Structure 1
Amino acid sequence: MFKFTFNVEVDDENPFNNIHNKEKNPSEKDLSEEDLEWYKAEKVSINTDILDNFDVYKLNAKILNVGDISIHHIVTGYILNHIAYNCEDNKDLANAEQSHSDLIPGVYEGGAKIWECTDDVLQYLATNFKSQEWRGKRFLDLGCGVGLLGIYVYNCGGTVHFQDYNRDVLTQITIPNVLLNLAAVKSVGDVEDSTESPEYKEIQAADVELLEEEVEFYAGDWCKYADITSNSAKFDYILTSETIYNPKNQQKLLNTIYKKLSANGVALVAAKTYYFGVGGGLRQFETVITADDRFQYKIVWSTSTEGIGREILELKLKDVRGI
């Protein structure tokens, strides 16, 4: 277990004001290696270490209002700075922070940052659907990172699997964010445009037990996650943002979506039209979908700005017979 030793303060910036672009220097990040050993998948539980540090997470919390839903989340800068130089138990995050890298293939896949297309999906959901529609639905937040997409639908009454490549990201960021929303006292609009800090109740063991009936966390490789959860119910919706930047992993992504999506389910894939330095992009990904021939897809949202655009693709299974 670790304890934070730094002074904390609330960061009032919108988390999307300083969005990170998933564009890499190819001299630093060679994604062409074929011999990467991807992490095995594992279920991650909410342990006492996370609960013991909950007071620090509360002090670093802020609220993002999306439509009529509030998303509580920590400002990760403080935690990442501490992990980089103080925590041997979180080696992947520490390695990434010390090297100032958003991507170390096979080691760290950028889960500690809020990526630009995450906001696109949140706004798309809030604009096109009523929050009540998600109650009782099953969701997979695939490559969840800080977990904003899964938290949004969880706050709408959905059941969610949060999946991220790095266990460190889940234990130090995603799970604390979910717990903040479980413990939140104030509702949407209560702290908007205010310097007042969010309010939270104490979390009891019974609260965690109830949460784990609706929410599960998984770390590791996508396909290995699909394998260890093969007996679980499939999902009505799969949400994934900025996960197609590496062309080598796109077929793996499609295979996972195919295995985990229910017969009449919908997958939303949000991404940029091109990722400099790594080779992936939406047009290139569409060629993989076409060659795969198991999905029908269409663009349901796109930016109107010049330059590198952002879009959301909707994927559905072509043939549901036998699924």
Structure 2
Amino acid sequence: MFKFGFDVEVDSNNPFVNKNLESEKEVINTSSKTDKREWYKAEKVTIGVETLENLDVYKLNATTLNIADVPIQHIVTGFLIEHITCNASDNKDIAEAEQTHSDLIPGVYEGGAKIWECTEDLLQYLAKSIKPQYWDGKRVLDLGCGAGLLGIYAYRCGAVVHFQDYNKDVLTQITIPNVMLNVETQTKPVDEKSNAIETEMKIEENFNIELLEQNLHFYSGDWWEYAELTTKSAEDKTNKFDYIFTSETIYNPQNQQKLLDTFYAKLSTDGVVLVAAKTYYFGVGGGLRQFEELITSDKRFQCKVVWSSVQGVGREILELRFK
């Protein structure tokens, strides 16, 4: 069994100080001391015109998942994979994973093209335990979002949502198209005879991209890099979230401290983190009991299991709050 004994040290030069806590604490990226892998830098990803132009195709290849009274449209995985592999030069990370028949290439591709079963567990838990109207105006981070279904649900219920995934390919080819399928469009006709520039402008006007990007943000890259980038960003003035959702992200024990550090940097004082995961990940070493040991030794969060299933591979939802 993996055992962790990370000590969180105080670093006066670290930018992350949770000013809302009664006693100020600082968080450092303790995982950087042992993890020498080169992870992708974080960057903000925008909604591209190409995605908007392809929406009709996406709609034809989409299905609907009903969560309580909230329908969520998302593109069928099979169609996405075929489309992505046919354009491998533009989507090298997902294409490489598909060609090697792998759900995981550490540091290159982290499984974002699939909808994992724990994501639906968390969706159903949210629908049963929290009324949809509660999300209106809340700030939500869908961390390691993949297809983005958790964040889309919150957005459909009125939340401001950050979608974060390690791979930019996943955001541009999967997350953002799925999000746009769930956005209400403005009824403004597009002149078929207009030139390319005018067409691009009219497509953007139909969706009011500027307004959308007040409530929808997309970031790729390493978790800690994302936390650092958005904390320094002038446009993200609050920097904290009421809820952080993450599903199937604890499979690699080497990344778990980084995950906790990101929670600490981005969660509001009375915020809640919901972690949906398998009890144990065979072949890679991670699991919820081992993750709980890390949380205990880390000493910054309290946690409890709020949902579990013993059917098939054990799955659970863990709730974290500040101590």
TM-score tier, shorter chain, comes to 0.7 to 0.9
Equivalent residue letter for 1:316? R
- The equivalent of 1:314 in structure 2 is 319
Q: Does 1:239 align with 2:240?
A: no
Write the distance in 2 (CA, Å) between the matches of 1:206 and 1:175: 13
Q: Does 1:266 align with 2:272?
A: yes
Write the distance in 1 (CA, Å) between the matches of 2:180 and 2:208: 9
Q: Does the CA-based 8 Å contact 2:306-2:317 persist in structure 1? A: yes
Secondary structure of residue in 1 paired with 2:40? coil
Write the distance in 1 (CA, Å) between the matches of 2:88 and 2:310: 43
Write the distance in 2 (CA, Å) between the matches of 1:205 and 1:288: 48
Secondary structure of residue in 2 paired with 1:204? helix
Cα shift at 1:235: 0.1
- The equivalent of 2:149 in structure 1 is 148
Write the distance in 1 (CA, Å) between the matches of 2:181 and 2:38: 34
Q: Does 1:294 align with 2:300?
A: yes
Cα shift at 1:205: 4.8
Cα shift at 1:68: 1.1
TM-score normalised by L of structure 2: 0.80
Equivalent residue letter for 1:173? I
* Structure of larger gyration radius: 2
Write the distance in 2 (CA, Å) between the matches of 1:214 and 1:249: 29
Deviates more, 1:44-53 or 1:241-250: 44-53
Alignment of 1:62-211 (within 5 A): 62-183=63-184, 204-211=205-212
Write the distance in 2 (CA, Å) between the matches of 1:170 and 1:223: 18
Seen in structure 2, the aligned counterparts of structure 1 residues 304 and 94 have a Cα distance that, compared at 3 Å, is closer
Seen in structure 2, the aligned counterparts of structure 1 residues 203 and 59 have a Cα distance that, compared at 3 Å, is farther
Equivalent residue letter for 1:214? N
Cα shift at 1:250: 0.3
Write the distance in 2 (CA, Å) between the matches of 1:56 and 1:99: 27
Alignment of 1:27-42 (within 5 A): 34-42=35-43
Q: How many residue pairs align between the two structures?
A: 269
Q: Does the CA-based 8 Å contact 1:72-1:184 persist in structure 2? A: no
Cα shift at 1:79: 2.3
Write the distance in 2 (CA, Å) between the matches of 1:117 and 1:81: 24
Cα shift at 1:89: 1.1
Equivalent residue letter for 2:318? L
Cα shift at 1:303: 0.8
Write the distance in 2 (CA, Å) between the matches of 1:298 and 1:281: 15
Secondary structure of residue in 2 paired with 1:230? helix
Q: Does the CA-based 8 Å contact 1:273-1:311 persist in structure 2? A: yes
Q: Does the CA-based 8 Å contact 1:139-1:158 persist in structure 2? A: yes
Q: Deviations over 1:153-198 (max 9, x none)?
A: 000000000000000000001000010000479xxxxxxxxxxxxx
Equivalent residue letter for 2:148? G
Write the distance in 2 (CA, Å) between the matches of 1:132 and 1:180: 21
Q: Does the CA-based 8 Å contact 2:64-2:72 persist in structure 1? A: yes
Q: Does the CA-based 8 Å contact 1:183-1:203 persist in structure 2? A: no
Deviates more, 1:109-118 or 1:202-211: 202-211
Cα shift at 1:215: 0.5
- The equivalent of 2:57 in structure 1 is 56
Write the distance in 1 (CA, Å) between the matches of 2:137 and 2:86: 42
- The equivalent of 1:27 in structure 2 is none
The runs of 4+ residues in structure 1 deviating greater than 4 Å are none
Equivalent residue letter for 1:310? R
Write the distance in 2 (CA, Å) between the matches of 1:67 and 1:203: 31
Equivalent residue letter for 2:267? L
Structure 2 unpaired stretches of 5+: 1-33, 187-202
- The equivalent of 2:9 in structure 1 is none
Q: Does 1:278 align with 2:284?
A: yes
Q: Does 1:256 align with 2:258?
A: no
Q: Deviations over 1:82-126 (max 9, x none)?
A: 322433111001101111110000000000100010011000010
Q: Does the CA-based 8 Å contact 2:279-2:316 persist in structure 1? A: yes
Write the distance in 2 (CA, Å) between the matches of 1:85 and 1:150: 28
